[in-house]
Amino acid sequence: MLSGIGVRFGGLVALDDVSLQVPDDTVVGIIGPNGAGKTTLFNVVCGFVRPQAGSMSWQGAPLRPKPQRLARLGIARTLQGDGLFAGLTVLENVMVGATRFARAGFGQGLLGLPGSARDERALREQALACLDQLGMADQADRMPGSLPYPLRKRVGLARALVSRPKLLLLDEPAGGLGGEDVDELAALIRGLPGQGCAVLLVEHHMDLVMQVSEHIVVLDFGRVIAAGPPDKIRDDPAVAEAYLGTEAGEASVSQP
Amino acid sequence: MDRFVFLTVDGLSRGAVYAAFALALVLIWRGTRIINFAQGVMAVVTAYLAYSISNATGSYWVGFIVALASGLVLGAVVELAVMRRVEHAPPLNAVIVALGLVLFGQGVLGMIYGNQYRPAEAPFSRVAMTVAGVPVVSRYDLFVFGAVLVLMLAVAALFTRTATGLRMRAAAFEPMVSRLLGVNVARTLTLGWALAGLVGALAGLLVLPTGLGLHPTAMDLVFVSAFTAAVVGGLDSPAGAVVGGLVVGLVLSYVGGYVDSAATPLAVLGLLVAVLLVRPGGLFSGTTARRV
């Protein structure tokens, strides 16, 4: 739940009075042209960017996010591109995502106490189970660089899901994916609310957003220009204008 | 032949120490992209502490343990108190701050202990045992090999078998992404420095009895050799540090034995320049790709 968020970078207004809500167990889509402030909004929620105005709350409590605290709050995020650790195996990548479940500290690790090894095994099992759910258990020991791009994206997704988030922030999950992969992704996203995970989705792939979102927020130049269910957004003239830069009617005429 | 065996064993023994010391440099480089030029003086500080404690208690091993523990603490303190402030600054700042620490540390040690050499005792005999009439390896060499081996295995286990090690590796590769995933990156950096402090302390304790003894500048040449070892192996690669250490140890031993012992510092620098010219990333650089 965000209300009245404002962010400026110097003289540039990146977000202006943006409010939105992600109710439990729903998928909310954010769309808008390049530079509309979608990723900035994610960075605000993650604590990479501090807003100059507005407030956020999460599960009834005020949210002043710090990136390393998010996972513990039950918020996970995927990144544009794959954002994977190139030097770690697929399984280890996912294990880092589960790191909030680890208990043993550095001292124990150094002294090789059993608690730390037990921790590591638990992480390993959780990560494997998560990869298995996404049908990737057999790729666990490969390096991310050796996988095709759609599978790398899926590893990124597994790394976010393994922390069992209550809210998943998806930053362009369909970027660079082909039609079949997008369909699989859509099915997966639609299944998440049923598992107790709400989704906030930033995506350019319009079909995907329309398919999976119950509610859509349209940003343009840092402002919310429209919000509502997919059907309403599809027919909203302001949205068409923002995307095409002119009256919808004229645009369709001028483009052969 | 006797000479060759002696020089090889001696080279490997020194090389093991350089490997440990190079590992300390690699641990810090991977996490922070800083070459810790103060690693040598940090090791000397812990060695002096070991000296004082051993003299007071009469036991080498009490001093040994205290030195390792203080290395761990010293590493963390240096990171928290000083290096944290230059981690995001241009690289030159960190270099200058580290060199400042060297001067500061050596100055303080000189004030407390004086600038004369003090004996650094070896816990075992350094006289080589003979096999079939050929002097091969001393008990102290065996101790050095054993200690470095245990250390390497422990560090490897930490990185590959524990959740903490996994976090440290992840944070070294992609600090921002790691934070998003719930890793406290600042803490992994402190841990990396602490670990490097411990590793460096061990290397110092092992190498000092083989040199002239304890002196505020006693680790300066060792630092140059270990730095060369780290560069030879590739600064990003712990395994490279080990191989680089052994290579540098052998080269120095052969040059000192067959050419002239005065030529060894030149040989180190020559090797450093050669590696930087031919393969600036180090011999093991191809194994881990890294986006910067």
pLDDT of residue B49: 93
Across the interface, which of B164, B165, B291 has its CB nearest the CB of A86?
A: B291
* Strand-pair partners of B131: B134
Note whether A7 and A15 are within 8 A (CB). yes
Q: Which residues contact B10 (CB under 8 A, 6 or more apart)?
A: B141, B253, B257
User: Residue B269 and residue B259: Cα distance in Å, rounded?
Assistant: 16
Q: Do B162 and A86 touch (CB under 8 A)?
A: no
pLDDT of residue B205: 92
Residue A145 has pLDDT above 80, yes or no: yes
The β-bridge relationship of strands A12-20 and A2-9 is antiparallel
The β-bridge relationship of strands A2-9 and B134-138 is unpaired
User: Residue B41 and residue A234: Cα distance in Å, rounded?
Assistant: 68
User: Residue A182 and residue A43: Cα distance in Å, rounded?
Assistant: 24
> In this predicted model, what pLDDT tens digit does every residue of A161-211 receive, in sequence order?
888 888 888 888 888 788 788 888 888 888 888 888 888 888 888 888 888
Chain B neighbors of A102, CB-CB under 8 A? 163-164, 167
> In this predicted model, what pLDDT tens digit does every residue of B144-153 receive, in sequence order?
999 999 999 9
* Strand-pair partners of A28: A200, A215
Average pLDDT over residues B193-215: 90
A85 touches chain B (CB under 8 A): yes
Q: Do B169 and A92 touch (CB under 8 A)?
A: yes
Average pLDDT over residues A77-102: 83
Place of tokens 């060369």: B228
Best of A106, A123, A170 to substitute, by most chain B Cβ atoms within 10 angstroms, is: A106
Helix crossing, B185-207 with B139-161: angle to 10°?
A: 170
Best of B65, B181, B184, B189 to substitute, by most chain A Cβ atoms within 10 angstroms, is: B181
Tokens in use for A150?
Answer: 């759609």
Q: Provide the 8-state DSSP code for B259.
A: I
User: Residue B149 and residue B146: Cα distance in Å, rounded?
Assistant: 5
Note whether B19 and B246 are within 8 A (CB). yes
Chain A neighbors of B161, CB-CB under 8 A? 116-117, 120
Burial class (CB in 10 A: 0-12, 13-18, 19+), B149: exposed
Helix (H, G, I), strand (E, B) or coil at A39: helix
Q: Which of B116, B91, B78, B117 is nearest to B33 (CA)?
A: B91
> In this predicted model, what pLDDT tens digit does every residue of B153-177 receive, in sequence order?
988 888 888 888 888 888 888 888 8
CA distance A44 to chain B (A): 12
User: Residue A75 and residue A2: Cα distance in Å, rounded?
Assistant: 14
Q: Do A109 and B163 touch (CB under 8 A)?
A: yes
Confidence band of B39 (pLDDT split at 50, 70, 90): very high
User: Residue B1 and residue B94: Cα distance in Å, rounded?
Assistant: 47
> Chain A neighbours among B 235-274 (CB < 8 Å)?
none
Q: Which of A145, A123, A127 is nearest to A136 (CA)?
A: A127
Note whether B289 and B47 are within 8 A (CB). no
Confidence band of B100 (pLDDT split at 50, 70, 90): very high
B58 touches chain A (CB under 8 A): no
Q: What is the ipTM of this complex?
A: 0.76
Question: Lowest mean pLDDT: which of A93-107, B74-88, B95-109?
Answer: A93-107
Q: Do A99 and B183 touch (CB under 8 A)?
A: yes
pLDDT of residue A147: 86
Chain B neighbors of A68, CB-CB under 8 A? 179-180, 182-185
Could you give all domains of chain A from N- to C-terminal order, each with its CATH number? 20-48+61-74+165-256 (3.40.50.300), 84-164 (no CATH)
Q: Which amino acid is at A48?
A: F
Average pLDDT over residues B272-276: 87
Question: Lowest mean pLDDT: which of A152-156, A237-241, B240-244?
Answer: A237-241
Q: Which amino acid is at A215?
A: H
> Chain B neighbours among A 156-195 (CB < 8 Å)?
159, 163
Q: Which of A77, A115, A117 is nearest to A97 (CA)?
A: A77
Chain A neighbors of B68, CB-CB under 8 A? none
Place of tokens 């810790």: B36
User: Residue B262 and residue B127: Cα distance in Å, rounded?
Assistant: 23
Tokens in use for B55?
Answer: 């003299």
Helix (H, G, I), strand (E, B) or coil at A245: coil
pLDDT of residue A1: 55
Q: Do A69 and B195 touch (CB under 8 A)?
A: no
Q: How many CA atoms lie within 13 A of B221 on its CB side?
A: 18
User: Residue A140 and residue A92: Cα distance in Å, rounded?
Assistant: 8
> In this predicted model, what pLDDT tens digit does every residue of B46-71 receive, in sequence order?
999 999 999 999 888 999 999 999 99
Average pLDDT over residues A25-38: 84
pLDDT of residue B67: 94
Chain B neighbors of A104, CB-CB under 8 A? 162-164
Place of tokens 């208990």: A103
Average pLDDT value over all residues in chain B: 87
Chain A neighbors of B194, CB-CB under 8 A? 106
Burial class (CB in 10 A: 0-12, 13-18, 19+), B103: exposed
Q: Do B179 and A68 touch (CB under 8 A)?
A: yes
Confidence band of B288 (pLDDT split at 50, 70, 90): very low
CA distance A17 to chain B (A): 25
Residue B43 has pLDDT above 80, yes or no: yes
% of residues, chain A, pLDDT over 90: 0
pLDDT of residue B78: 93
pLDDT of residue B199: 94
Higher pLDDT, A92 or A60: A92
A46 touches chain B (CB under 8 A): yes
CA distance B70 to chain A (A): 14
> Chain A neighbours among B 152-171 (CB < 8 Å)?
154, 157-158, 161-167, 169-170
pLDDT of residue B247: 92
Residue A3 has pLDDT above 60, yes or no: no
Q: Do B163 and A145 touch (CB under 8 A)?
A: no
pLDDT of residue A244: 63
Residue B239 has pLDDT above 50, yes or no: yes
Q: Which of B180, B170, B171 is nearest to A72 (CA)?
A: B180
Q: Which of A195, A199, A201, A197 is nearest to A218 (CA)?
A: A201
The β-bridge relationship of strands A167-171 and A75-77 is parallel
pLDDT of residue B187: 87
pLDDT of residue B289: 43
Q: Do A67 and B158 touch (CB under 8 A)?
A: no
Average pLDDT value over all residues in chain A: 78
pLDDT of residue B290: 44
Residue A113 has pLDDT above 60, yes or no: no
Dihedral (Cα; B7, B9, B10, B12), 10-degree rounding: 120
What residue ranges in B31-119 does DSSP mark as E strands?
Answer: none
pLDDT of residue B275: 85
Tokens in use for A182?
Answer: 């997008």
> In this predicted model, what pLDDT tens digit does every residue of B118-145 receive, in sequence order?
888 888 888 877 777 777 788 899 999 9
pLDDT of residue A251: 43
Place of tokens 């290579």: B247
> In this predicted model, what pLDDT tens digit does every residue of A35-78 receive, in sequence order?
778 888 888 888 888 877 777 888 777 777 778 788 888 888 88
CA distance A101 to chain B (A): 10
Helix (H) or strand (E) run with residue A46 in it: helix A38-46
User: Residue A245 and residue A239: Cα distance in Å, rounded?
Assistant: 10
pLDDT of residue B182: 82
Chain A neighbors of B170, CB-CB under 8 A? 85, 88, 92, 96, 99
- Taking the whole predicted model, whether its pTM rises above 0.80 is answered as yes
Chain A neighbors of B166, CB-CB under 8 A? 88, 92, 95-96, 99, 120, 123
Note whether A203 and A39 are within 8 A (CB). no
Average pLDDT over residues B272-277: 87
B289 touches chain A (CB under 8 A): yes
Q: Which of A62, A16, A73, A69 is nearest to A41 (CA)?
A: A16
Q: In what order do the strands lie in the sheet with A215-220?
A: A75-77, A167-171, A198-202, A27-31, A215-220, A223-228
